[in-house]
Amino acid sequence: METSPKLGTYNYRFGLIAAGIGIVFSLMLHFMEMTYNQSPVIQTVQTLIPAAVAVIAILTFKKDNSGLLSLKQSIKLGVGVFLVAGIIGLIYFAIFINVLEPDFITNTAQLQADTLRETKPEIGEDMIQMQQENTEKFFYISFPFILIMNVLIGLVVGLITGLFAKKN
């Protein structure tokens, strides 16, 4: 009787690969002084990196499993790869904003305040100042939400890939 490969092995291996590529991309942006540039292209690339790696993980698992893949396995692989990449990415991000770019939170809050001044000039300066202080105070609360979003995107990637690649 042949046994199926372990999903965890693929989650860790490909999650590390996705995190590594994401970290290299982030460092590239940092060295090009594009850290604060949140263009849609950059955000799309940051999402496509783990998505592409998750698809590769699912297809590799299917190949290693004698061509068999269930929808459940595909979803677990998608979520697992995104979860591992998200955890490693958040650890890197914490190091990044505390070591490489120690003024990151302050600069981000300032950019948000400047954007608010431009887009909503009717808002008073005291409200903008309060928003800026809250951003600085509660910045780390965003970490769990980032991880949740990673898991949800992984779920969707795993589901879509599984619908096309499944073979029982």
Residue percentage of the chain with pLDDT more than 90 = 72
Q: What is the pLDDT of residues 132-148, one digit of tens each?
A: 888 888 888 999 999 99
Q: What is the pLDDT of residues 22-47, one digit of tens each?
A: 999 999 999 999 988 888 999 999 99
- Is the predicted pLDDT of residue 168 greater than 80, yes or no? no
What does pLDDT average to over the chain?
Answer: 92
Q: Where is 133: in which H helix or E strand? A: helix 125-137
Alpha carbon distance 68, 142 (integer Å): 38
Give yes or no for a contact between 55 and 74, defined as CB atoms under 8 angstroms apart: no
